[in-house]
Structure 1
Amino acid sequence: MRISIADEDLWVELDDSSAAKDFASLLPMTLTLDDYASTEKVSDLPRRLNTEGAPRGYQPSAGDITYYAPWGNLAIFYKDFGYSNGLVRLGHIAGPLTAFTRNKSVRADFSL
């Protein structure tokens, strides 16, 4: 998957999971990602994802793309964070994460 932010393309390897496949079915899409807790960028998704078979929670690392099931939103971590119930990993970004730290909000185009 590709995430385009301004003039930068980031490459993502999506996991082989129900949630990641469901997320991919939404693409292409454009989202505004807002900063949350100076650790991640978040955005609402057009609908809830299928989390069948997902673990109860996850401890994200910088570069992880996740789905927070309790709120139904996408969360892209640019800093490591602690274990969170309801967090489902969708994939991981290969490369620098500076595109997420330049501004409080970023417009991102997601495509396969």
Structure 2
Amino acid sequence: MLATAVLPRLAYGQQGRDPASQELTEMRISMTFDGRTMTATLYDNPSARDFFSMLPLDLTIEDFSNNEKIAHLPRKLTEEGSGPFGNERPYDLCYFIPWGNLAMFYADYRHPGLIRLGRFDEGYEALHVRGEFPLRVEAIS
């Protein structure tokens, strides 16, 4: 019984934290496109820290499916110590492992290949604007 309680925690890396229960950090970002600015707070995981270290970035944001926008990063993020989560919600900022892109959800979603990087705080209504636009991503704290 003890082994089943301990083994899943070890699978999440040396820190022993479940990625689904990660805490938000002081790492905040702004994302600007089409004259609109969104802000997000990043989670405490290696993938989010790696993303934050890449800023500022100039990317392209585009529609994908009927519930998200995506933006391709210049390189893949680290996945070590990050992992799946089960409490998906609209306005999550995620990293899609197979393609190495950002995924910004504005409606319900579920996909096993995601790492949650953060949550949008303000301006997330901009995600509903259809089209492809230049995107500027910057650190704000």
Give the TM-score normalised by the residue count of structure 2: 0.72
C-alpha contact 2:92 2:118 (8 A) present in aligned 1: yes
CA distance in structure 2 between the aligned counterparts of 1:23 and 1:29, rounded to whole angstroms: 10
* Residues in 1 aligned to 2:94 and 2:113: alpha-carbon distance in whole angstroms: 10
Identity %: 32
Instruction: Kindly indicate which of the two structures has a greater share of residues assigned to helix.
Output: 2
Matched, 1:54 2:87: no
- 1:87 counterpart = 2:107: no
Query: Are 1:38 and 2:66 counterparts?
Result: yes
* Mapped contact 1:59–1:81 kept (Cα < 8 A): no
Higher relative contact order (CA 8 A, sep 6+): 1
- Spell out structure 1 runs of 4+ moving beyond 4 A: none
Gapped regions of structure 1 (runs ≥ 5): none
From 73, 95, 99, give the equivalent of 2:101: 73
TM-score scaled by length of structure 1: 0.88
Letter in 1 for 2:31: I
Distance 1:58 1:33, change over 3 A: farther
Partner in structure 2 of residue 25 of structure 1: 53
Three-state SS of the structure 1 residue aligned to 2:51 is helix
Residues 72, 65 of structure 1: CA spacing in aligned structure 2 closer, same or farther, 3 A cutoff?
same
Count of residue correspondences = 111
Change (3 A) 1:102 1:56: closer
Unaligned runs of 5+ in 2: 1-28
- What's the RMSD between the two structures over aligned residues? 1.6
Relative to structure 1, the CA distance from residue 106 to residue 62 in structure 2 (aligned partners, 3 Å threshold; closer, same or farther) is farther
SS at match of 1:70: coil
CA-CA distance at 1:7 after TM superposition: 2.5
More strand by share: 1
CA contact (8 A) 1:19 1:90 kept: yes
